[in-house]
């Protein structure tokens, strides 16, 4: 009898043993269906030797073993990916099944091979409508997927959908989910590289050709042509017949990337992100696994895809905090990408104009190879940066743009050039209050104010999505027309621009307005065809975009990110402002950047104005070293939450009471977490600051293992948290 150990999904059970029926073959990595109680669930066969210590259970007596039901007809998860999954589960203290699950797709993708019947709406107007059918019509708009997937999407039973097929509302389509994608051509349009580009490219190409692990820090100023440079490494991987993964921090950036990729390689890459349709997702997953998807560009979730033969990983805008996942498995995609490169024995390129301090430190220590592109491509100059001191040059009351910025905007409009105003705040105003009684609109589920969105006429919570229409009277005192907006958001700045520059065409760019790749593509097309004069945007506009006619960037409030006492605040402010400044003057015309601040002497502002990046990073590095902060020390957080405040507090206290006493490990808290109420859950936090050499994971695991919590309590561990 053959015993196999499986990681089973949908459970906190860890690994379970099953037996293989005669004639069934299931090597490690095979995706299987196994019985669990009365149900059938998915699992992955795992080599016992590969399991991290805690996950294995005692061997189950042989006569009690149940049989594996089915081995699914997809390639077994390759050994390097299994090692990555086991490493991530161990490092981030996540259940192995939760990490393994990120490598898989829907069960239809796992089962379906060859031709699949999918369904889509016909556009017929139904004669007789039930609420369920209405719901399906609404939710299935634009979808095409199998019956089972559609039922999931629409939240109705398959029976309801079959009824709709009978009524002619849904129609079947036969699709071949195993058709490969067109292969990108490495020679389609080879650019002439500038000398600095060619040197950097040669290093990366050599590592790709050698199939050798090597992290690169591609450190090039904005507009230096980093993309064209790493495209050479992509071409080398394609030439060798291998696959490539490119990670981008935001879906909104993929639209621009797709166009550039197609111009270079003659066809678009395969995309992977949360807004893919079910049928696209199925095809993409299968082609990644079978090798028919050569280049995949995606958000961080693409990191765990089961590539058949990976040759290169690129993390673009690698400093971005969007690579940190903050719920479910809390991992940092940049760090996991480097580990995947290690296990796959392939180079990993981290590209950025403002690298994370951690990455620079790794380069300094010789672990990453730093490739520097010191100047812009094609002789374009870096923009001139000037500081507008708001304590001397104040905007008029109720306005946010100071006179020098207004003049600069008028000047560009007159010349037919584009401007960009950056303020990292969505909506119209961050706080709304009643002028009569002072009532402030607060989210019922979170410790946060409701943000007014005037374009969509909503007061919205940016943490849980709770929304209400602005009420006609104050809910507290009943006074009509009493609401006052406090502070600016991008929509309010856009209004101000509209008043100051009548006739200017203003576009607001945030995750609200650029929610889909299609909307992002539309925006890029408009900006490129000069149908927009002034862009007002959040951090979404700070990166990736290349608009040659954009010559002015205004930073509305450089101080915003500096408040709050977060140790990374200065670094993040530096990165955001340097990135947004990098949007100016990328074409033939020189760019100018105006930074509005009340603290012109702050180190970060001074460094931006003088262009002394290295000095700024050196000072930041010293500050971190002194504080024992990452990368010189290890940090972790334990977050305890419950819908019941007392329960959360008691659990946090119990954890605090059981704190281990370990030399070199400092444990702080529990204290209310920065968002002490989030999505209806009260949150407490403990912080762990340890020496670099401390085995923090082991310590936390042993610490929490002795405690039991009530049902409603959730305990999450965040290794390398972003704020402290």
- 192 or 327: whose CB is closer to ligand ADP? 192
Nearer CB in complex with ligand ADP: 222/432: 222
Q: Least distance from C-beta 7 to ligand ADP, angstroms?
A: 39
Q: How many residues bind ligand ADP (CB under 6 A)?
A: 16
Of 396, 404, 388, nearest to 597 by C-alpha is 388
Q: Round to whole Å and give the CA distance between 173 and 343.
A: 40
Q: Which structure tokens are listed for 391?
A: 């304590």
The residue (of 162 and 260) whose beta carbon lies closer to ligand ADP is 260
Q: Give me the least distance between CB of 673 and Zn ion, in Å please.
A: 14
445 touches, from ligand ADP, Zn ion, none (C-beta below 5 to 8 Å by class): Zn ion
463 binds, among Zn ion, ligand ADP, none (CB under 5 to 8 A by kind): Zn ion
CB 640 within 8 A of CB 713: yes
* Interface positions with Zn ion (CB under 5 A): 443, 445-446, 461, 463-464, 466
Q: Judged by CB under 6 A, does residue 454 bind ligand ADP? A: no
Residue 664 Rama label (left phi>0; alpha psi -120 to 50; beta): left
Smallest gap from residue 366 Cβ to Zn ion (A): 46
**What is the DSSP track for 634-692?**
EEEEEEEEESSHHHHHHHHHHHHHT----TTEEEEEEEEEEEEEETTEEEEEEEEEEET
> Which residues lie below 8 Å from residue 601, measured CB to CB, with a gap of 6+?
none
Residues 6+ apart with CB under 8 A from 147: 117, 119, 158, 161, 162
Q: Which helix (H) or strand (E) holds 246?
A: strand 243-247
Shortest spacing between CB 226 and ligand ADP, in angstroms = 4
* Residue 377: contacted member of Zn ion, ligand ADP, none (CB under 5 to 8 Å, by partner type): ligand ADP
Cα distance between residue 282 and residue 107, in whole Å: 9
Which of the choices Zn ion, ligand ADP, none does residue 191 contact, using the CB cut-off of 5 to 8 A by kind? ligand ADP
How far apart are CB 327 and Zn ion at their closest, in Å? Answer: 14
Q: Does 191 bind ligand ADP (CB under 6 A)?
A: yes
Are the CB atoms for 355 and 332 separated by under 8 Å? no
Contacting ligand ADP (CB under 6 A), which of 99, 164, 193, 333? Answer: 193
**Backbone φ, ψ for residue 552 (5° rounding):** -130, 130
Q: How far is the CB of 361 from ligand ADP (least distance, A)?
A: 22
- CB-wise, 120 or 462, nearer to Zn ion? 462
Q: Which does 557 bind (CB under 5 to 8 A by kind): Zn ion, ligand ADP, none?
A: none
Shortest distance, position 507 Cβ to ligand ADP, whole Å: 20
The listed partner (Zn ion, ligand ADP, none) that binds 225, CB under 5 to 8 Å by sort, is ligand ADP
| 234 vs 316: CA distance, rounded Å | 13
| Footprint (CB under 6 A) of ligand ADP, residues 221-240 | 222-228
Closest to ligand ADP by CB, 219 or 344: 219
Q: Where on the phi/psi map is residue 416: left (φ > 0), alpha (ψ -120 to 50), or beta? A: left
Q: Is 197 in the site for ligand ADP (CB under 6 A)?
A: yes
Residue 19 as a binder of ligand ADP (CB under 6 A): the answer is: no
Whole-angstrom Cα distance, residue 107 to residue 151?
A: 14
- Of all residues in the shown chain, the one whose CB is closest to ligand ADP is 225
**Span interacting with ligand ADP, options 188-196, 411-419, 428-436, 471-479, rule CB under 6 A:** 188-196
466's contact among ligand ADP, Zn ion, none, with CB below 5 to 8 A by partner kind, is: Zn ion
CB of 433 to Zn ion, least distance (A): 18
Nearer to ligand ADP, 226 or 282 (CB): 226
Span interacting with ligand ADP, options 111-119, 218-226, 436-444, 609-617, rule CB under 6 A? 218-226
Q: For 398, which DSSP code?
A: T
Report how far residue 455's alpha carbon sits from residue 457's, in angstroms, rounded to the nearest whole number: 6
Q: How far is the CB of 466 from Zn ion (least distance, A)?
A: 5
Judged by CB under 6 A, the residue of 215, 220, 306, 633 near ligand ADP is 220
Q: Quick one: what does residue 464 bind among Zn ion, ligand ADP, none, with the CB cut-off 5 to 8 Å set by partner type?
A: Zn ion
Q: Pick what 88 binds: Zn ion, ligand ADP, none; C-beta below 5 to 8 Å, kind-dependent.
A: none
φ, ψ of residue 245 in degrees (nearest 5): -115, 125
Q: Which of these, 206, 211, 182, 184, lies nearest to 309 by C-alpha position?
A: 211
Give least dist CB 24 to ligand ADP, A.
50
Residues 515-574, interacting with ligand ADP (CB under 6 A): 546
Q: Which of ligand ADP, Zn ion, none interacts with 285 (beta carbon under 5 to 8 A by kind)? A: none
Q: Is the CB of 315 or the CB of 460 nearer to Zn ion?
A: 460
Give whole-number Cα distances, 402 to 125, 128, 538, 554, in Å: 55, 60, 19, 10
434: annotated binding-site residue? yes
Nearer to Zn ion, 389 or 676 (CB): 676
CB of 676 to Zn ion, least distance (A): 12
The response to whether 464 counts as a known ligand-binding position is yes
DSSP states of 42-106: EEEEE-GGGS-GGG--PPPPGGGPPBP-EE-SSPPPPHHHHHHHHHHHHHTT--HHHHHHTT---
461 is in an annotated binding site: yes
Q: Which of 296, 291, 259, 304 is nearest to 276 (CA)?
A: 296
Task: Tell the residue number behind the tokens 């909104």, with chain if given.
Answer: 252
Residue 339: C-alpha distances to residues 303, 348, 493, 639 (Å) = 11, 9, 43, 26
Question: Any binding-site annotation on 443?
Answer: yes
d(CA 246, CA 593): 30
**DSSP sequence for 510-563:** STTTT-SHHHHHHHHHHHHTT--SEEEE-GGGGSS---TTEEEEEES-TTGGGT
427 binds ligand ADP (CB under 6 A): no
**Exposure string for 594-604, b = 16+ CB within 10 A, e = fewer:** bbbbebbebbb
**To the nearest whole angstrom, how small is the minimum distance from the Cβ of residue 227 to ligand ADP?**
3
The dihedral formed by the CA atoms of 257, 263, 268 and 272, expressed in degrees to the nearest 10: -10
Q: What are phi and psi of 672, to 5 degrees?
A: -55, 135
Cis peptide before 529 (omega within 30 of 0): no
Q: How far is the CB of 484 from Zn ion (least distance, A)?
A: 21
x/- track of binding to ligand ADP for residues 357-396 (CB under 6 A) = --------------------xx------------------
Minimum distance of ligand ADP from residue 604's CB (angstroms)? 21
Q: Which residues contact 28 (CB under 8 A, 6 or more apart)?
A: 45, 46, 47, 50, 76, 79, 82
Structure tokens belonging to residue 579: 């990135």
Look at residue 338 and give the partner it binds from Zn ion, ligand ADP, none, a contact being a CB closer than 5 to 8 Å depending on partner kind. none
Residue 561 contact, options ligand ADP, Zn ion, none, Cβ 5-8 Å cut-off depending on partner type: none
* Annotated binding residue 474: yes
- Which stretch in 147-155, 220-228, 592-600, 622-630 sits in contact with ligand ADP by CB under 6 A? 220-228
**CB-based contact 358:227 (threshold 8 Å):** no
- Report residue 549 CA to chain centroid gap: 29
Nearest partner of 249 among 304, 339, 313, 318, judged by Cα: 318
| Interaction partner, residue 227 (ligand ADP, Zn ion, none; CB < 5-8 Å by kind) | ligand ADP
Cβ nearer to Zn ion, comparing 334 with 462: 462
Task: Give which of Zn ion, ligand ADP, none residue 417 binds (C-beta under 5 to 8 Å, depending on kind).
Answer: none
Nearer to ligand ADP, 58 or 192 (CB): 192
- Chain residues binding ligand ADP by CB under 6 A are 191-194, 197, 220, 222-228, 377-378, 546
As annotated, the binding site for Zn(2+) includes 434, 437, 443, 446, 461, 464, 474, 477
As annotated, the binding site includes 434, 437, 443, 446, 461, 464, 474, 477
């Amino acid at each position: 009898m053959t015993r196999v150990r499986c990681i089973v999904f949908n459970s906190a059970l860890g690994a379970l043993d099953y037996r293989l029926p005669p004639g069934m073959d299931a090597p490690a990595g095979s995706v299987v269906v196994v019985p669990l109680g009365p149900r059938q669930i998915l699992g992955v066969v795992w080599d016992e030797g590969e399991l991290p210590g805690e996950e294995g259970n005692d061997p189950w007596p042989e006569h009690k073993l149940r049989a594996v039901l089915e081995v699914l007809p997809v390639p077994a998860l390759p050994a390097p990916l299994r090692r990555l999954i086991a490493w991530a589960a161990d490092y981030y203290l996540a259940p192995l099944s939760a990490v393994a699950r990120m490598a898989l797709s829907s069960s239809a993708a796992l089962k379906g091979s060859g031709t699949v019947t999918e369904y889509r709406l016909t556009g017929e107007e139904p004669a007789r409508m039930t609420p369920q059918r209405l719901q399906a019509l609404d939710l299935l708009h634009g979808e095409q997927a199998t019956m089972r997937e559609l039922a999931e999407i629409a939240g109705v039973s398959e029976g309801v959908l079959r009824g709709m097929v009978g009524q002619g509302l849904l129609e079947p389509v036969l699709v071949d989910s195993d058709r490969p994608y067109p292969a990108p051509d490495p020679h389609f349009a080879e650019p002439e590289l500038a000398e600095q580009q060619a040197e950097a490219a040669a290093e990366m190409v050599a590592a790709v050709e050698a199939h050798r692990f090597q992290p690169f820090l591609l450190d090039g100023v904005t507009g230096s042509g980093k993309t064209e440079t790493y495209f050479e490494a992509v071409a080398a991987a394609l030439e060798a017949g291998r696959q490539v993964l490119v990670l981008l921090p935001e879906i909104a950036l993929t639209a621009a990337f797709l166009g550039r990729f197609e111009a270079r390689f003659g066809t678009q890459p395969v995309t992977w992100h949360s807004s893919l349709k079910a049928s696209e997702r199925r095809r993409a997953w299968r082609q990644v696994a079978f090798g028919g998807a050569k280049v995949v560009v995606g958000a961080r979730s693409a990191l765990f895809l089961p590539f058949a033969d990976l040759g290169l990983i690129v993390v673009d805008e690698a400093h971005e905090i969007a690579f940190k996942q903050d719920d479910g498995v809390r991992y940092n995609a940049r760090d996991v990408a480097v580990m995947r490169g290690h296990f796959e024995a392939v180079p990993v390129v981290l590209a950025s104009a403002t690298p994370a301090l951690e990455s620079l430190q790794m380069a300094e220590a010789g672990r990453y190879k730093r490739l520097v592109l010191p100047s812009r491509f094609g002789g374009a100059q870096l923009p001139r940066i000037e500081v507008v001191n708001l304590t001397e040059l104040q905007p008029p009351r109720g306005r946010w743009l100071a006179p020098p910025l207004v003049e600069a905007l008028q000047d560009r409009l007159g010349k037919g050039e584009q401007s960009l105003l950056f303020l990292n705040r969505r909506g119209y105003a961050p706080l709304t209050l009643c002028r009569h009684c002072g009532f402030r609109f607060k989210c019922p589920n979170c410790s946060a104010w409701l943000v007014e969105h005037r374009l969509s006429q909503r007061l919205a919570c940016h943490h849980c999505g709770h929304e209400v229409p602005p009420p006609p009277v104050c809910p507290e005192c009943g006074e009509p027309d009493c609401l006052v907006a406090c502070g600016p958001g991008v929509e309010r700045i856009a209004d101000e621009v509209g008043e100051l520059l009548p006739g200017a065409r203003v576009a607001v760019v945030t995750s609200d307005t650029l929610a889909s790749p299609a909307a992002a593509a539309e925006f890029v097309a408009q900006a490129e065809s000069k149908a927009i004069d002034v862009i007002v945007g959040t951090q979404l506009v700070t990166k990736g975009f290349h608009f040659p006619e954009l010559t002015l960037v205004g930073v509305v409030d450089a101080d915003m990110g500096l408040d709050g006492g977060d140790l990374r605040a200065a670094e993040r402010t530096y990165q955001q402002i340097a990135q947004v400044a990098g949007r100016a003057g990328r074409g033939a015309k020189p760019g100018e950047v105006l930074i509005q601040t009340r603290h012109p002497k702050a180190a970060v502002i001074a460094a931006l104005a003088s262009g002394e990046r290295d000095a700024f990073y050196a000072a930041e590095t010293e500050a971190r070293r002194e504080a024992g902060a990452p990368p010189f020390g290890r940090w972790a957080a334990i977050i305890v939450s419950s819908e019941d405040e007392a329960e959360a507090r008691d659990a946090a206290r119990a954890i605090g009471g059981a704190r281990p006493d370990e030399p070199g490990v400092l444990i702080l808290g529990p204290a209310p977490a920065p968002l002490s109420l989030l999505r209806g859950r009260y949150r407490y936090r403990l912080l762990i600051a340890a020496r670099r050499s401390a085995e923090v994971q082991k310590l936390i695991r042993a610490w929490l293992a002795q405690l039991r919590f009530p049902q409603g309590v959730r305990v999450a561990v965040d290794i390398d948290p972003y704020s402290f």
